[in-house]
């Protein structure tokens, strides 16, 4: 009798009875996560991963008890006689004949079926660090990526490592060595974590960021200036539209015909102070009703109705925290400078990675900020491709949305609609124009489904919340359901790597980031054991009050 036999075949798992575990493994350890080869009558084998096992005690012929290991394994793909690997459960020809453990070099060979030219490395197999798990880098970056996991599961480190590896890529056929490759990554960093991981990056904080208000579209402008529950909001919307469109026309220097085409959403300059003045005029307008006999006037249609609106406009205009948006530097900047700033094409300071540090951006304008930058990056990619003679995207972008649940939630709340629209547009059409998104979140269940359903690759890290686990399970092909059972047990830096770019779904350990993002766990015991440390409150308070 052979040491192992298949006793049951289900669509997404096989059950194997093992009489002699040592013989099956040939001395190697067999554990949950080990790979098996299941041969049928053809010469190809199913590769399956052990998901669980149990032990049955049965009376043997000799009269004592025989231990039988019952393994359950999830089929991942088929390897043919020539070592060619194809994903998917496939059919197992009945009866399956023999079962053996796949050895390290066999498993490595399977992973190496990724075209060597396209191999991109950032992880090893969780159960055996000697097995490298490369992905197909073209498929990985040209489709959207989702990185999900509870807090502290290692998402930021994973993202940092992936980007670091991307900036190290070099084209071997180039005759000269070069220090900067053509990687372009833009990170929305909510907690100022990425600066340490990318010391050479183009860093934009609230002090240096310039995101001019005149590039906002109608929806974003209304987000910023209109309280939709106010009685007069329809009047406010109408007058804002009229005065802004007039303001754009007034500053336009092109031909008369071109001027006629200018509309509310044209990405053209207008002066916010002129708009404010025009609105004040309307609020104070009196209409002359004098007759030859008597001088008289009456209140204009909006007389006194715009008080709240004007106060809000003025408050925003004078809010120093919003200087990056509405301050004087936002008035003088040109569209080209804005684009260069966000793509790292800054004269003399080019950078592969642009870190947009949003930690100082007031929460009420966070969604709008992400929305505007995303829209600019999308439009830039669109026009770049359009202008390029052969229609190629030669500077493809990756946009990383950290803590995405904060600005693209599933909820239909109006205040998130602009950022949701902008990111959904990248999710739906970005691929064609060479702009892809990496969505990083600890609350996947709270994120817009439109966005998640467009992701082709997943790094699912430890997830403890059952609602999030179920959500992730739903997004992952049925046949892999059993693999996701391990989600709550993964350790920091471990992930299930699933998707187009992976040879087969795998449990991997991400390489640690060098240098790390500043999101590492605080070493409480070490810090607390030190002698009392004095704190200078003055600079803290100053920074706060700024
Ligand atoms: N690949 C790894 N190897 C070893 N340790 C890791 C690895 N990745 C992350 N860690 C550790 O896990 C901890 C949390 O990592 P990280 O900040 O990336 O988590 P996170 O998922 O981004 O959390 P949050 O949702 O709160 O932002 C850190 O202390 C880090 O050192
Ligand atoms: Mg993080």
Residues 402, 189 contacting (CB under 8 angstroms): yes
User: Best of 123, 491, 493 to mutate for ligand 1, by most ligand atoms within 8 A of CB?
Assistant: 493
DSSP SS3 for 239: helix
pLDDT attached to residue 51: 86
Q: Taking a C-beta distance cutoff of 8 angstroms, is the pair 122, 157 a contact?
A: no
Specify whether the backbone of 12 is left (phi greater than 0), alpha (psi in -120 to 50) or beta.
alpha
Q: How far apart are CA 43 and CA 520, in angstroms?
A: 49
pLDDT at 319 > cutoff 70: yes
Would the pLDDT of 95 be above 80?
Answer: no
Q: Minimum-distance ligand to the CA of 462?
A: 1
Q: Do 212 and 363 meet the contact criterion of CB atoms below 8 Å apart?
A: no
Which is nearest to 228 in space by CA: 79, 468, 418, 40? Answer: 418
| Torsion sign (Cα): 444, 448, 451, 454 | positive
C-alpha atoms less than 13 angstroms from C-alpha of 44 in its C-beta half-sphere: 18
- The answer to whether 46 and 121 have CB atoms below 8 angstroms apart is no
User: Would you tell me the crossing angle of helices 307-318 and 218-225 to the nearest 10 degrees?
Assistant: 100
Q: Whose CA is nearest to atom 2 of ligand 1?
A: 493
Confidence band of 39 (pLDDT split at 50, 70, 90) = confident
- Give the pLDDT confidence score for residue 473 in this predicted structure: 85
Q: Look at residue 172 in the predicted model and tell me its pLDDT.
A: 87
Q: How far is the CA of 375 from the centre of ligand 2 (A)?
A: 24
The 3-class SS string of 241-289 reads HHHHHHHHHHHCCCCHHHHHCCCCCCCCCCCHHHHHHHHHHHHHCEEEC
Element (H, E) at 224: helix 218-225
Query: pLDDT (tens digit, 9 = 90+) per residue, 416-435?
Result: 888 888 999 999 999 999 99
Which whole-number Å values give the CA distances from 141 to 66, 119, 125, 400, 431, in the listed order?
51, 12, 21, 11, 10
List, in order, residues 6 or more apart from 145 with CB less than 8 Å away. 436, 437, 438, 439, 455, 456, 457, 458, 459
pLDDT exceeds 60 at position 82: yes
The rounded distance, in Å, linking the Cα atoms of 472 and 422 is 23
Most confident of 246-250, 391-395, 483-487: 246-250
Determine the distance separating the centroid of ligand 2 and the alpha carbon of 192, expressed in angstroms.
Answer: 10
Ligand 1 environment, Cβ below 6 A: 149, 151-157, 442, 492-493, 510, 512, 519-521
Ligand with smallest separation from the Cα of 491 = 1
- Which token pair is 434? 């060479």
What is the Å distance from ligand 2's center to 21 Cα?
Answer: 42
- The pairing of strands 506-510 and 494-499 is antiparallel
Report how far ligand 2's centroid is from the alpha carbon of 199 (Å): 18
Name the more confident of 483 and 503: 503
* Residue 134: count of CB within 10 angstroms of its CB: 22
The atom number, within ligand 1, closest to the CA of 512 reads 1
Band (pLDDT 50/70/90 cuts) for residue 83 is confident
Q: How far apart are CA 300 and CA 288, in angstroms?
A: 9
For residue 468, which of 441, 498, 490 has the smallest C-alpha distance?
Answer: 441
Burial class (CB in 10 A: 0-12, 13-18, 19+), 447: buried
Write the pLDDT tens digit of every residue in 330-350: 999 999 999 999 999 998 899
User: Which tens digits make up the pLDDT trace of 420-474?
Assistant: 889 999 999 999 999 999 999 999 999 888 888 899 999 999 999 999 998 888 8
pLDDT score for 99? 87
Q: Are 382 and 433 in contact (CB under 8 A)?
A: yes
Residue 300 has pLDDT above 90, yes or no: no
DSSP alpha helices (H): ranges in 1-63? 21-25
Q: What span, in angstroms and rounded, lies between the C-alpha atoms of 253 and 268?
A: 11
What domains are defined for the chain? 4-113 (no CATH), 118-169+178-210+333-545 (3.40.50.300), 219-312 (no CATH)
Q: What is the mean pLDDT of residues 400-418?
A: 84
Ligand closest in space to the Cα of 162: 1
Q: How far is the CA of 462 from the centre of ligand 1 (A)?
A: 11
CA distances from 188 to 195, 425, 444, 497 (A): 12, 17, 17, 23
Specify the residue with its C-alpha closest to ligand 1, atom 15: 154
* Ligand 1 pocket mutation pick from 492, 508, 514, 515 by most atoms within 8 angstroms of CB: 492
Q: Name which of 9-18, 255-264, 480-489 the model is least confident about.
A: 480-489
List phi, psi (to 5°) of 56: -110, 140
The pLDDT confidence band at residue 524, using thresholds 50, 70 and 90, is confident
pLDDT score at 155: 97
Residue 287 phi/psi, 5-degree rounding, is -105, 130
Q: How far is it, in rounded angstroms, from Cα 134 to Cα 413?
A: 40
Report whether pLDDT(84) > 90.
no
Lowest mean pLDDT among 46-50, 232-236, 253-257: 232-236
Nearest atom (ligand 1) to Cα of 442 = 25
Packing angle between helix 272-284 and helix 233-251, nearest 10 degrees?
130
| CB-based burial label for 166 (10 Å; 0-12, 13-18, 19+) | buried
- Give me Rg for the CA atoms of the chain: 30
What is the phi/psi pair of residue 6, to 5°? -80, 125
Nearest CA to 13 among 73, 61, 58? 73
Most confident option among 46-60, 67-81, 154-168: 154-168
- The SS3 assignment for 296 reads coil
pLDDT over threshold 80, residue 478: no
In terms of Cα–Cα distance, which of 150, 76, 159 is closest to 111? 76
CA 339 to each of CA 103, 403, 425, 489: distance values in angstroms, whole numbers, following the listed order: 51, 24, 19, 43
d(CA 209, CA 292): 58
Centre of ligand 1 to C-alpha 159, Å, is 10
Express each pLDDT in 135-191 by its tens digit: 999 999 999 999 999 999 999 999 999 999 999 999 988 898 888 999 999 999 999
Quick one: pLDDT at residue 457? 94
Q: Are strands 435-441 and 144-148 parallel, antiparallel or unpaired?
A: parallel
Looking at the chain, the whole-number percentage of residues with pLDDT higher than 90 is 51
Q: For residue 89, what pLDDT band results from cuts at 50, 70 and 90?
A: low
- pLDDT at residue 91 tops 70: no
Q: Which atom of ligand 1 is nearest to the CA of 509?
A: 1
For residue 152, give the ligand nearest its CA.
Answer: 1
Residue from 187, 87, 242, 545 nearest 397 by CA: 187
């Amino acid at each position: 009798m052979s040491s192992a036999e298949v006793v049951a075949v289900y669509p997404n798992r096989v059950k194997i009875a093992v009489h002699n575990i040592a013989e099956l493994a040939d001395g190697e350890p067999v554990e949950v996560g080990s790979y098996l080869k299941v041969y049928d009558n053809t010469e190809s084998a199913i590769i399956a991963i052990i998901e669980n096992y149990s032990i049955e005690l049965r009376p043997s012929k000799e009269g004592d008890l025989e231990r039988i290991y019952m393994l359950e394994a999830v089929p991942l793909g088929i390897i043919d006689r020539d070592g060619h690997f194809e994903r998917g459960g496939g059919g197992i020809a009945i009866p399956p004949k023999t079962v053996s453990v796949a050895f390290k070099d066999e498993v490595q060979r399977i992973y190496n079926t990724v075209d060597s030219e396209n191999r991109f490395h950032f992880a090893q197999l969780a159960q055996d660090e000697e097995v490298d798990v490369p992905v197909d880098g073209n498929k990985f970056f040209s489709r959207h990526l989702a990185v999900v996991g509870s807090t502290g599961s290692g998402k930021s480190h994973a993202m940092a490592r992936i980007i670091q590896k991307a900036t190290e890529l070099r084209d071997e056929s180039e005759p000269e060595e070069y220090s900067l490759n053509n990687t372009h990554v833009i990170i929305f960093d909510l907690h100022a974590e990425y600066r340490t991981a990318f010391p050479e990056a183009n860093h934009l904080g609230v002090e240096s960021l310039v995101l001019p208000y005149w590039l906002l579209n109608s929806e974003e402008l209304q987000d910023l200036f209109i309280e939709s529950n106010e009685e007069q909001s329809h009047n406010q919307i109408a007058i804002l539209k009229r005065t802004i469109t007039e303001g754009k026309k007034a500053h336009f220097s092109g031909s008369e015909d071109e001027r006629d085409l200018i509309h509310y959403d044209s990405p053209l300059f207008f002066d916010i102070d002129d708009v404010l003045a025009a609105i004040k005029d309307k609020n104070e307008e009196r209409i002359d009703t004098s007759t030859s006999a008597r001088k008289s006037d009456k209140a204009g249609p909006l007389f006194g109705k715009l008080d709240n609106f004007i106060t809000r406009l003025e408050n925003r205009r004078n809010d120093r925290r919003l200087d990056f948006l509405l301050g004087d530097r936002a008035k003088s900047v040109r569209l080209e400078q804005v684009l260069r700033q966000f793509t790292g094409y800054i004269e003399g300071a080019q950078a592969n990675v642009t870190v947009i540090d949003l930690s100082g951006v007031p929460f009420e304008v966070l969604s709008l900020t992400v929305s505007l930058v995303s829209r600019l990056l999308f439009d830039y990619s669109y026009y770049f491709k359009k202008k390029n003679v052969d229609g190629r995207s030669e500077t493809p972008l990756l946009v990383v949305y950290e803590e995405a649940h904060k600005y693209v939630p599933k909820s239909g709340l109006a205040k998130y609609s602009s950022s949701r629209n902008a990111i959904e547009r990248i999710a739906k059409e970005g691929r064609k124009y060479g702009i892809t998104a990496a969505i990083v979140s600890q609350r996947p269940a709270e994120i817009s489904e439109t966005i998640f359903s467009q992701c082709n690759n997943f790094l699912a890290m430890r997830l403890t919340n059952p609602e999030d686990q179920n959500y992730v399970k739903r997004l992952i092909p049925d046949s892999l359901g059993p693999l996701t059972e391990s989600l709550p047990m993964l350790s920091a830096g471990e992930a299930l790597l699933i998707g187009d770019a992976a040879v087969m779904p795998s449990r991997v350990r991400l390489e640690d980031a060098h240098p790390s993002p500043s999101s590492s766990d605080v070493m409480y015991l070490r810090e607390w054991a030190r002698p009392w440390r004095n704190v200078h409150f003055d600079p803290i308070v100053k920074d706060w009050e700024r």
